[in-house]
Amino acid sequence: MTNMKRRVFLKGALTAGGAVLAGTLVPRAVLAAWPAKAFDAKSLDAAEKDIFGGTPIAESGKIHFPELPTLAQDARSVPINIATTLPNVTQITLFVAKNPRPMAATYHLSDRVEPKLSMRVKMAKTTDVVAVVKSDGKLYSAKRKVKVTIGGCGG
């Protein structure tokens, strides 16, 4: 792995699972399945409805946000890690509840990928980040609040 070239590694990753990430370049094959409506939705409810077609979502304690900040250091680039111990994960989707367009990313995972993701997102204001995981064909979610503050005055 350490000797593997970055380009080769990326190719391998894309073969393993197709990633759809808002605002980044994606291979044409994936573009075909681009969930434009969900990404453009203006509310969390509407986005979830568009991407999951109204399938019920159950809360789960098995979805984690390792090292998620409680206060955003820089709201323009908030690091978010998602990890889950749920079995047979095929899709992980991230929403930032009160962003103008809440759906931030959705990832399709093959069975050769460990369900563990890292990304950075822009946050408009204090709100929940919501992860929805598809496991054994069912949907599970977890959320955590990240605070966006004007700062200053500490100390």
Partner 1 sequence: MNLSRREFLQMLAIAGAAGLPLGSGPADAAVRAAGRGPSDFYELPRFGNVSLLHMTDCHAQLLPVYFREPSINIGVGSMRGHPPHLVGEYFLEYYGVRPGTRRAHAFTYLDFVELARRYGTLGGFAHIATLVKRLRAQRPGALLLDGGDTWQGSATSLWTRGADMAGAQLRLGVDVMTGHWEFTYGAERVMELIKKELGGKVEFLAQNVVTKDWGDPVFKPYTIREINGVPTAVIGQAFPFTPIANPAYMIPNWSFGIDQGRLQKTIDEVRAKKAQVVVLLSHNGMDVDLKLASRVSGLDAILGGHTHDMVPKAIEVKNAGGTTLVINSGSNGKVITVLDLDVRKGGVRDYRFHYLPVYSNLLPADREMQAYIDKVRAPYRSKLGERLAVTEGLLYRRGNFNGTFDQVICDALRKVMDAQIALSPGFRWGTSVLPGQPITVEDVMAQTAITYPVVTRNAFTGARIKAILEDIADNLFNKDPYYQQGGDMVRVGGLHYTMDPTQDIGHRISDMELDGKPIDPKKKYTVAGWANVSQPLKGRAVWDVVNEYLRERKTVRVERPNVPKLKNVRGNPGYAA
Contacts with partner 1, residue ranges (CB under 8 A): 66-67, 69-74, 79, 126, 145, 147, 149-155
CB-nearer residue toward partner 1: 38 or 129:
129
Q: Give the nearer residue to partner 1 in terms of CB position, either 35 or 69.
A: 69
Nearer residue to partner 1 within complex by CB, 27 or 66: 66
Q: In whole angstroms, what is the distance from residue 129 CA to residue 96 CA?
A: 5
Q: Which is nearer to partner 1, 112 or 147 (CB)?
A: 147
CB of 132 to partner 1, least distance (A): 22
* Torsion, CA 126, CA 119, CA 84, CA 6, rounded to 10: -170
Query: Is 133 in contact with 84 (CB distance < 8 Å)?
Result: yes
- Between 98 and 138, name the residue whose CB sits nearer to partner 1: 98
* Smallest distance, partner 1 to C-beta of residue 155, A: 5
Residue 14: count other Cβ atoms within 10 Å of its Cβ.
Answer: 14
| Least Cβ distance, residue 126 to partner 1 (angstroms) | 8
Structure tokens at 33: 């399945």
Shortest Cβ 137–partner 1 spacing (Å): 30
Residues 6+ apart with CB under 8 A from 119: 21, 79, 80, 94, 104, 105
Report, in Å, the least distance between residue 119 CB and partner 1.
14
Identify whether the C-beta of residue 105 lies closer than 8 Å to the C-beta of residue 133. Answer: no
